[in-house]
Every structure is written in structure tokens, then in C-alpha cells.
Amino acid sequence: MRNYLTILFFGLTVTFFNAYGKDPGAGVLLRQINIPGTLLHDSMIIESGLSLFEEGAGEISTDSLQLRRYFANFLLIPYNAGLEIIRSDEEGLSRNIFVLCVLATTLAMDQSIRDLVQERIYAGEHFAISFLNDAGNRKYFFPVFAGVYGISIVSGDRYFHDTMLLSFQSLVVSLGFSELSKITVSRRRPYNSPRDPFRRDKGHESFVSGHAVGIWSVMTVFAGRYPKLSYGAYGFATAVSLARLYRDAHWTSDIVMGSLIGYGIGSLTLKLAYSPDNNLTLTPFTNGKVQGASLRMNF
């Protein structure tokens, strides 16, 4: 029963976001691209095998171009995330130093925070905690996405549809980073190692919190697309993250870093979706009876 309530809650929440909180200036994802009027002669162009024209066609579909850009961003988002990590300019360096300080601080406080929560705050399981843990569980996340995405198609609301596409993209990319971190660090969960937050063993996956990564990656996209409801989106993401701490499933540093990863990937997803300079250009070309498009990607 609780599982069905989780799915229903997500469906109603997304519908409410769509009805009351959308950003009228954000535009529609698949209609934001500007098609160049001339070929680019001064740069290296990789000719793609995409057949986007038929003989006699008058124009190329902007939806087709932007859909290819959307799929290209599954590679460009992690690529740009890697660049953000090694930024050496003043803004990037300051941000990265701040993140490292946050990580160091939470690592130093992991044991004391865990003891405080489990010895003084924990009061057993109840519906709210179970619901919040289910909300961040990918076991339910993807069925919910499939259901709500179906609703977005049936509704005919393009803005709603695009929001679901972007949030799904953000979730998939961020979970890739999460799994890489879990496998690499192999940190024990607090309920497996209650007195040693630094213990590592093969097969353990505490760092980072997948719940925190997933919920923050999705809610960051929703907050960007529906700014009037951003406090609710971030509040819900925070509640899901803290529920993992309450359950003794993660250390504080797992949750904080997971939240930062999810937020960062969500922000990059939005940035690359609408930025005219996202390293990907598709340009129409005509060569006699052959018509198509050239693909240029800069790294």
C-alpha cells in the first residue's frame, strides 16, 4: 500500500508543479535551437550519417535537431562535470576549495553526528520515514518516472514533457557518478561499522548516498523549471536525504556529498539544455539530390 501511495504522491506533486510553478521564460526544450543559415567553413566538421532530409524537403525539423542535442548531452554533462572539478579560475577554484572543506568537516563529524542521531533522536520507524526512504529508492523512482512521463505525453503539455525528459537525464547521469563513487570508495555503512566511519571493504557502498544523489538531481531540475515552487522541491530533497541519516543507512558526509553531486548535475543539465554554446552543432547541407546534416562536436 505504501508503494502505491509513493507513486501517487509523485504524480500529484509533478502535476501541481506543472499547474502552478512553471517558469514562463524557460521556453520549450525541443524548440530552443537556432538553425544556422550557412555551412561552417572554418572549423572541422564531422559528417554524420543522419538522414534528416528527403528530396524536396523545405526545412529541417527543429525537434529532430534538439532531440539529438538532448542525447548528446548524456555525454556532454559528465564531460563538463569533469571540467568543473579541475577548474583553476578564481570562481571555480573557490567553489572547489569550499566543497573540499565541507567534505573534510563532515568526515571529521561523521561519528559524533551518527551517535547524536541514533542515541538521542531516533524514535523507531514510522510512516513518514518509510515514505521518504521509498521516495528516494530507485526501485520506485523509475516506475514513477515511466508513469508520470506517460501522463506528460497524454496531457499534450510540452513544457511538462520536457521537464520529465530533463529530470530523467539528470537522474541517469548523476546515478552514474554515484555508482562510480560507491565502487571506488567501498565504504561501510554506519549500521555495519557503527564505531569506525573510515572502514572500507569490497562490496560496501555507503559513499555517496544514492538516495541523496537521485532526489537532488531531479528536484534541482524541477526547481529550475518551476522556480515558484523551488523551496518545496529543495525541502523535499533535504527531507529524503535526512531520512537516510535517521535510518543509520549513511554517514553525514555520504549524504552531503551526494546532495552536492545531485545538485551539480541537475544544474549542468539545465545549463546545457538551453545554452546555445553547448559544444554541439548540427548544420543542414545539400549536395545535389542528397540532403542531410553535419554534426560538429567540440571537446
What size, in residues, is the chain? 299
* C-alpha dihedral (225, 230, 236, 239), degrees to nearest 10: 130
The pLDDT, as a whole number, for residue 148 is: 86
Interatomic CA distance for residues 57 and 291, integer angstroms = 9
Predicted structure pTM score: 0.77
The pLDDT, as a whole number, for residue 147 is: 87
What is the DSSP pairing of strand 290-297 with strand 280-287?
A: antiparallel
The pLDDT, as a whole number, for residue 189 is: 96
Interatomic CA distance for residues 20 and 27, integer angstroms = 16
What is the mean pLDDT, run by run of 10 residues, along the chain of 299 residues? Answer: 53 58 52 32 30 33 65 94 94 96 98 97 91 84 83 86 93 96 95 93 92 96 94 96 96 98 97 66 55 53
* C-alpha dihedral (206, 212, 218, 220), degrees to nearest 10: -130
